[in-house]
Amino acid sequence: METGELIVRLVLIVVIFLISLVIAMYSTYAERKIAAFFQDRVGPNRAGPAGILQPLADGAKMFLKEEIIPTNSSKFLFIVGPSLAIMTACIGSAVIPWGQQIQIGSKLYDLQVTDINVGLLYIFGVVSLGVYGIMIGGWASNNKYSLLGAIRAASQNISYEIAMGLSIIALLMVTNTLSLKEIAAQQHGWHWNILRQPFGFILFIVCAFAETNRTPFDLPECETELVGGYHTEYSSMKLGFYLFAEYINMFVSGAVMATLYWGSYNYPGMDWVAGHTGPVIAPLIGTVVLFAKIFLFIFFFMWVRWTIPRFRYDQLMDLGWKGLIPLAIANIIGTGLWITFFK
Amino acid sequence: MESLSNKRKVLESKPLNLWERIYLPAVVKGLSITLKHFLFKKDVTVRYPEQKREFSENFRGMHSLKRDEEGRERCTACGLCALSCPAEAITMIAAERKPGEENLYREEKYAAVYEINMLRCIFCGLCEEACPKEAIYLDGDIVPADYLRKDFIYGKDKLVEAPLNQ
């Protein structure tokens, strides 16, 4: 790899890292504000105009709070838990293509940190690593609520990963590649995968809710039964890391869904736009479109949170094993038949 | 058993049909309801310190010690308010009016010190009823918050009405 490309990559890594952190920060604000609007309230409105500085105030509060490590906890693992959670949340975005190739000077650069040919598997690996942060943290706390929350998180993630993987298989049969860059490029213009895999997308988004521990699948931290769930014993910035990891996960899974099903950086009329704006501006517009899609998904996550109540544990397992997995398998068969007879 | 009032409703819980069991239509319905709130419903919040809800006419807020038409303090330190107070929030020290102070105090005896502990006060208004001189009324605003307990003991500096010509 030559120096120019290396610099572009490094800049890209830093920028994406910052963007995911800022988005996670402002997701907390957006969540509170959106929750307020859904409930006919105002939401945070004291720190800065319309409460825009609220995340900074929250962050400062998190850092300044007393940090408590329980005496009977396993100290090393207690610290490893949140670190692992936030690390796996952050590295997930490495394979996502953020735009088309951009021309700087006379050379073309990918707007993607790395294009590994099994990018989808990488994302799956990282997502399933994410549950270790919760597991280790909950277990190391030496608290029954934390342990129960961690066990719930683990069983939930394992169950829904299967359905998620199966729904992806149907998508792979259509795209014939695991590389996210190619999947994104295939959906040029309006040829989005949602049109070819609408059912698979519904399965995928339900599983994505479960994987990110969002309502209606937020059993690992359900306050009514488990105090704080897996982060009951956590305080200060270690708690902040867990909360941050959840929002970064939301951002990354929004990005994955936008890339896999909703056309990534593609939008109808992109060729016309590219013809009129040139090879520098057009990819950036594509990136803006991608981010708009991601924000819509984040909004959707929050919208569902304030609509649907939490599942009971047995209902969760019932839906996962008896509902989604058979449906995902049926989807694979259906896709196979469709490819065989209509293509 | 036969229902006597005829008000009893028999509810039957039918098993869910397919449409209900696939759950998604209900989710979509719920989402549309919440979206209506998000988009169209106005918030009902009263933005408190900047914006205040109107009090009712008989609202009992902070006490004020009244003056008469000539601007003299009405209170004669009889102690009936302190006696009537169920929360024992009121204390006072009486003093005798000196010659030359007739323009300050209406009666020969007055309250040199008059203190109400706002943390004890329950704003029942019994002091107002007990007062024979119409000297105390709970006609003020909400008692403001503060940091120290000692600052909630309000003396005459905070309770007595402003003099007439000011």
Instruction: Please list the rounded mean pLDDT of every run of 10 residues in chain B (166 residues).
Output: 78 82 86 88 83 86 89 89 91 90 87 92 91 90 89 90 74
- Cβ atoms of A208 and A257 closer than 8 Å: yes
How far off is chain A from B51, nearest CA to CA, in Å?
14
A69 assigned to some structural domain: no
Distance between CA atoms of residues A181 and A179, nearest Å: 5
Q: How far is CA A253 from CA A28, A197, A298, B67, B150, in A?
A: 16, 17, 9, 70, 55
How far off is chain A from B25, nearest CA to CA, in Å?
12
Among B18, B24, B43, B48, most A C-beta atoms within 10 A, so best to mutate, is B43
How far off is chain A from B60, nearest CA to CA, in Å?
29
Classify residue A294 by its DSSP letter. H
Q: How far is CA A199 from CA A156, A202, A324, B15, B18, in A?
A: 22, 5, 11, 26, 17
A151 assigned to some structural domain: yes
> Is the ipTM reported for this complex over the cut 0.85?
no
Residues ≥6 apart with Cβ < 8 Å to A168: A120, A124, A200, A204, A260
* End-to-end C-alpha distance for chain A, whole angstroms: 40
CA proximity to A137, closest of A239, A66, A246, A252: A239
CB contact under 8 A, B33 and A307: yes
CB contact under 8 A, B38 and A37: yes
Among A33, A204, A308, most B C-beta atoms within 10 A, so best to mutate, is A308
What single letter denotes the amino acid at residue B90? I
Shortest CB distance from B31 goes to which of A40, A41, A303? A303
How far off is chain B from A39, nearest CA to CA, in Å?
7
Classify residue B67 by its DSSP letter. B
* pLDDT value at residue B113: 92
A302 assigned to some structural domain: yes
A330 vs A102, which has greater pLDDT? A330
Q: How far is CA A76 from CA A134, A137, A244, in A?
A: 14, 10, 21
Q: Which of A130-144, A295-309, B2-16, B109-123 bottoms out in mean pLDDT, i.e. has the lowest?
A: B2-16
Preceding amide of A216 cis, omega within 30 = yes
* pLDDT value at residue B68: 87
What single letter denotes the amino acid at residue A158? I
- Cβ atoms of A294 and A255 closer than 8 Å: yes
How far off is chain B from A23, nearest CA to CA, in Å?
21
What residue numbers bound the domain in which A251 lies?
3-45+85-342
* Count of beta carbons in the 10 Å neighbourhood of residue A319: 20
Total structural domains in chain A? Answer: 1
How far off is chain B from A305, nearest CA to CA, in Å?
10
CA proximity to A224, closest of A311, A336, A94: A311
Please report the residues numbered 94 through 123 in chain B whose beta carbons come closer than 8 angstroms to any beta carbon of chain A. none
A285 assigned to some structural domain: yes
Closest residue of chain B to A327, computed from CA coordinates: B22
* pLDDT value at residue B121: 92
Please report the residues numbered 9 through 48 in chain B whose beta carbons come closer than 8 angstroms to any beta carbon of chain A. 24, 27, 30-31, 33-35, 37-38, 41-45, 47
> How much is the average pLDDT of A262-268?
83
Distance between CA atoms of residues A263 and B70, nearest Å: 83
Shortest CB distance from B37 goes to which of A40, A45, A308? A40
What single letter denotes the amino acid at residue B54? E
CA proximity to A86, closest of A134, A154, A31, A26: A134
- The C-alpha angle with vertex A227 and arms to A224 and A209, in degrees rounded to 5, equals 70
- The C-alpha angle with vertex B125 and arms to B120 and B130, in degrees rounded to 5, equals 110
- Please, is B155 exposed, middle or buried when counting C-beta atoms within 10 Å of its C-beta (0-12, 13-18, 19+)? exposed
The residue written with tokens 């006419």 in the block is B57
CA proximity to A136, closest of A218, A220, A80: A80
User: pLDDT tens-digit profile of A74-87?
Assistant: 888 888 888 888 88
Domains recognised in chain B with CATH numbers? 64-159 (3.30.70.3270)
β-strand pairing of A107-109 with A102-104: antiparallel
User: pLDDT tens-digit profile of A196-226?
Assistant: 888 888 899 998 888 888 878 887 777 777 7
Distance between CA atoms of residues A75 and A171, nearest Å: 43
Helical spans, DSSP H, in B85-153: 126-130
**What radius of gyration, in Å, describes the C-alpha atoms of chain B?**
29
A97 assigned to some structural domain: yes
* pLDDT value at residue B83: 92
pLDDT band at residue A1, thresholds of 50, 70 and 90?
A: low
- Cβ atoms of A130 and A26 closer than 8 Å: no
Residues of chain A with Cβ-Cβ distance to B44 below 8 Å are 40
Shortest CB distance from B30 goes to which of A37, A41, A307? A307
Its sign, for the CA torsion B117, B121, B125, B131, is negative
Residues of chain B with Cβ-Cβ distance to A310 below 8 Å are none
Residues of chain B with Cβ-Cβ distance to A40 below 8 Å are 37, 41-44
Give the 3-state secondary structure of residue B128.
helix
A58 assigned to some structural domain: no
A308 vs B166, which has greater pLDDT? A308
- Cβ atoms of B56 and B118 closer than 8 Å: no
**What radius of gyration, in Å, describes the C-alpha atoms of chain A?**
21
Shortest CB distance from B45 goes to which of A38, A42, A202? A42
> How much is the average pLDDT of A101-128?
79
- Cβ atoms of B136 and B81 closer than 8 Å: yes
Measured in whole angstroms, the distance separating CA B60 from the mean position of its chain's CA atoms is 5
> How much is the average pLDDT of A136-150?
86
| B7 interface with A at CB cutoff 8 Å | no
In the structure encoding, which two tokens stand for residue A313, read together? 């544990």
β-strand pairing of B136-137 with A107-109: unpaired
Helix H or strand E encompassing B95: strand B90-96
* End-to-end C-alpha distance for chain B, whole angstroms: 78
Note the residue count of chain B: 166
A259 assigned to some structural domain: yes
How far off is chain A from B89, nearest CA to CA, in Å?
35
| B163 interface with A at CB cutoff 8 Å | no
A54 assigned to some structural domain: no
E strands present in A107-227: 107-109
